[in-house]
Copies of this chain bind each other. A is one copy, B any other.
């Protein structure tokens, strides 16, 4: 393995130890320095970004890069304003490290504290979006985590420029350790990074499904995120027609390119003949292609103005279109809808539209997804809308952090036991002392400060 990768990773891992206990006010000073460094280096950032854009434009012309990717690559003044605003938001967060989560007296003079702490060393791998660097660096710094970044090669100049500006700002701040943040630049480096499970505690990938899947398949390091976003709306027999149309239209049309957009519409048979023509008309106006099971096909094909009505195949139920395409299926019952979602979905976000509370309850209980909506669009499933301030990613994992993940996903805890020379031997055998296991209302920070 190339020695410089190992060295960078080992250095970051070592720096993660002192970083974990940097006081909140020092971290905030570093964040302020980051924001102001971005502000005073706008020209340099935009200049570097132009180099990336020119090269990207050439790739678009030869069909090797999509226009959408180029759009996300662009950094202008308003993008820099957003980066700065994002950092300022993180400054306002309370310091999440060193919080006492629980405190328990085990016996007189033997006290157990569960205290929040950083995870350690995070690897962030993303495609061409230079604004990921300041956003994630701010979150990782505030949560005390060292971080290795790897951006897309299309954004190489932008990423390097932004990264250097930010790291320089951090490392010029008194009390901040050096080497906690590193940038990798080649695909080869990513593959090496994925092997370093001894040092890297968590990988956060941001990018296309294939990209995330590749990472999940090629590392033993835990991966926080999701590959697929196959989201459903189930329109129940007891649905309010207007609400159903609002939710179904928004979930598909408002922004179809994203993971929380609906891919499959499930409609209860009792309402299908009434609902499908109405919503089909709206979809038709928006240019949505409809891939239908037999029952929905026979309802929709009668409407002559709907050009794009096709037959769905089994493959459609498993497909994330990320586009103005929707698969539609009529189901016989609520439970058939739930079964379809648990079977074909990606456990990301699924919605029910109904006025019947017990049907909603059953859906909420039995749909095994990170977010479940009742009479609301799947598109709400997002860190900003969920009030997290900043989003690390959306996770379909079943452990650690699920759904839209904010800074809480970058934290874990340690147990701290304070005693007076206590021995386990005293709690065993014939005259064993008994544990009191009494809840305490004390913070470890106060305890260690007091005298």
Contact = CB atoms under 8 A, between A and B. Distances in A.
A424 B379 contact: yes
A308 to B, nearest CB: 22
B387 A106 contact: yes
A398 B20 CA distance: 13
Contacts of A427: 385
A370 interface: yes
A448 to B, nearest CB: 5
Contacts of A331: none
A128 B11 CA distance: 42
Contacts of A448: 357, 360-361, 364
B375 A104 contact: no
Nearest to A357: B448
Interface stretch (A83-91, A185-193, A309-317, A415-423): A415-423
A243 interface: yes
The count of identical subunits is 2
A417 B373 contact: yes
A419 B357 contact: no
A399 B399 contact: yes
Interface in A366-414: 366, 368-377, 379-381, 385-387, 397-404, 412-414
Q: Is the interface of A mostly helix, strand, loop or mixed?
A: mixed
A405 to B, nearest CB: 11
10 contacts: A17-B368, A21-B365, A120-B398, A224-B399, A372-B417, A376-B421, A376-B422, A377-B423, A380-B417, A400-B412
A277 interface: no
A359 B247 CA distance: 58
A102 B342 CA distance: 25
Given A254-B423, A254-B424, 6 more contacts: A18-B366, A216-B220, A222-B222, A243-B420, A364-B448, A379-B423
Contacts of A404: 415
Contact of A364 (B244, B377, B416): B416
Contacts of A15: none
Pairs of residues from A and B, 6 with the lowest C-beta to C-beta distance, nearest first: A243-B421, A376-B419, A250-B423, A379-B424, A21-B365, A387-B437
